[in-house]
Structure 1
Amino acid sequence: MNSSEQSKVETVRPARKKPVNRKSLILTTIIGALLLLGALILFMCIEKVPQGYQAVIYSVTGVKDETKPAGWHVISPLDKAVHYPIRTQTKEYKNLNVATADGKNLDMDISINYHVDPTKVVKIFNKFGNADIDGLENGFLRTRVLDGLRQSVAKYSVIETFGVKTSEIKKDTLGELQKQLTDQGFIIEDIAISSPKADAATQAAIDERVKANQELERAKTDRAIAEQNAAKKKIEAQGQAEANDILDKSLTDKIIKKQMIDKWEGKQPITIGGEGVIVDVNK
């Protein structure tokens, strides 16, 4: 092998790899793991409270007195949060079974507008634990709403419940719910109650009663009209009688004689005794 061939062989010989620094590799791995762990811990420490909510923070050691408003907050990774709505919420309860004063069972729908008192969220947590708002709506609040509606409807008959007392039932129910729930931390703003739902037999009886009431009201109206017409005729008759009486009293003998003379045209006078001239006053 000559020098030129030996040079070519040397040029194609692969370069020798540098030895790996194991300490640097281990250090890089540790740093990466720590950064990942730090990011994970930081993520666990961040608590987002939605707009319109108030958060109660608690851990195994108990509940924190300080609550968190809407926004982003850094808390201990051992802490947890329960969110309560402090803006208006609407919850509808369907087919609540109630009974009227006369023992009729009805189903009614009711919708409530409410919010949680932000100053009492800790009290709510201490009473109900970490139950979220959905659990409270479907449990505690539903029970209180049903109780308030039942107490209100029980004051009235089935006919009144379907008609003239609907506004009183709403007013009574709203007042009862506010009385029961305000101190518990739930502010009831307003309610809406649907028309009652009755079974076929009850509905038929209600329709019959409504028809009878309508006929009674019609009869009362007809009687009132007749009484008014009779009174009107009586007044007219009294007026005519008084007018005739006044007329009769005003027609003295002298006036009658004068009317006869005024009517006489000077033709064929008729004299009867000493009574003077008699003529036909109808001419």
Structure 2
Amino acid sequence: MTTRKTINLDPQRKGGLAKLLIPGFIILIIIMILSNTTFVTIDPGEKGIVFKRFSGGLDKEAAPLSQGFRVIMPWNKVYIYDIRMQEHFEKMTVLSKNGLNIEVELSCRYRPISAEIAYLHDEIGKDYLGTIILPELRSATREIIGKYLPDELYSTKRETIQLEIFERTKDKVEKNHLIIDDILIRGVKLPQTLQDAIERKLKEEQSSLEYEFRLTSERKEAERRLIEAQAKADANEILSKSLNEKILRDKGIEATLKLAESPNSKVVIVGGSDGLPLILNN
């Protein structure tokens, strides 16, 4: 037969245990609260600004908190901003100069100015991409592309249009504590019939340029040959003017005597029809 023992706790011991648990529970709650409001970690590529609830709110002139572990007062609040370069891709349908719909894919690289994130937070907030950057980017894209024809955007003026969109957006955005690093046109989609027509036109222009290049090369070659022939003619004319019958006879006698000195057997007859020696081989 099993005997069960009942242990009765002394009421005083129960009261002592309760006195220990309650303070421990309170301390645990306080630690949990403080860990979320007092201890803050700022990761690499981030900056923090402190909102002082009871002493003036945001201190815009103070330097932002840099990366690392930070301790703040529990009644204050820290706002953390990513200050690294970020990239956004945007697809738009815009009208060209002649009223055709063009699909454009853009990319925009941007970041907050780290020293001014307190002003950025106070004036705009964390959704600065949707509040400032995208509206200005879309407005600039519609305005600039609306001044050009589709074939200019597709081929000849693409870099110019891209630069104009960048400058227009940059001027507007950088007044709001943000930096636009670059804007790129990554893709342009035209109606298929128009795209085919532009490609045919580009091929024809390329063929025309190649033909013009060949003509220019041949023209230059003809000019070169003409100059060379003229130079030879001028040289011959100058040479002929510098020679006379006596000089030619002396040169002929000189050459004959040199030939006569060679070991080959020959007969030299002095006094030909023109007064020059004759050389006859045996």
For 2:74 and 2:191, the matched residues in 1 are separated by 56
For 1:14 and 1:159, the matched residues in 2 are separated by 97
Partner of 2:88: 92
SS in 1 for 2:204: helix
Q: Deviations over 1:232-253 (max 9, x none)?
A: 3432443455456557767879
1:72 corresponds to 2:66: no
Aligned 1:140-155 pairs, distance under 5 A: 140-154=132-146
1:194 corresponds to 2:194: no
TM-score of the two chains, using structure 1 as the length reference: 0.68
1:216 corresponds to 2:208: yes
Identity of aligned residues (%): 22
SS in 1 for 2:188: coil
Partner of 2:49: 56
Amino acid in structure 2 at the alignment position of 1:112: C
For 2:102 and 2:4, the matched residues in 1 are separated by 98
Q: Classify 1:249/1:125 alpha carbon distance in 2 versus 1 (closer, same or farther; 3 Å).
A: same
TM-score of the two chains, using structure 2 as the length reference: 0.68
Q: Deviations over 1:254-279 (max 9, x none)?
A: 899999xxxxx79997xxxxxxx89x
Judge which range, 19-28 or 205-214, deviates more.
19-28
Q: CA deviation at 1:224?
A: 0.8
Q: Deviations over 1:60-119 (max 9, x none)?
A: 777421543323334455544432122x22213132334555555433333333321122
Contact 1:152 1:172 in 2 (8 A): yes
Q: CA deviation at 1:210?
A: 0.6
Q: Classify 1:268/1:177 alpha carbon distance in 2 versus 1 (closer, same or farther; 3 Å).
A: closer
Max Rg structure: 1
Contact 2:110 2:178 in 1 (8 A): yes
For 1:161 and 1:71, the matched residues in 2 are separated by 47
Judge which range, 235-244 or 36-45, deviates more.
235-244
Q: Deviations over 1:155-206 (max 9, x none)?
A: 6544443344444344434433432222311122344432423221221122
Contact 2:170 2:180 in 1 (8 A): yes
Partner of 2:27: 35
Amino acid in structure 1 at the alignment position of 2:58: K
Contact 1:93 1:142 in 2 (8 A): no
Q: Which runs of 5+ in 2 are unaligned?
A: 252-268, 276-282
Q: Which runs of 5+ in 1 are unaligned?
A: 1-11, 260-264, 270-276, 279-283
Length, aligned pairs only: 258
Aligned 1:130-209 pairs, distance under 5 A: 132=126, 135-154=127-146, 156-209=148-201
For 1:218 and 1:258, the matched residues in 2 are separated by 57
Partner of 1:83: 80
For 2:137 and 2:58, the matched residues in 1 are separated by 30
Aligned counterpart for 2:120 among listed residues 114, 119, 124: 124
Q: CA deviation at 1:214?
A: 0.5
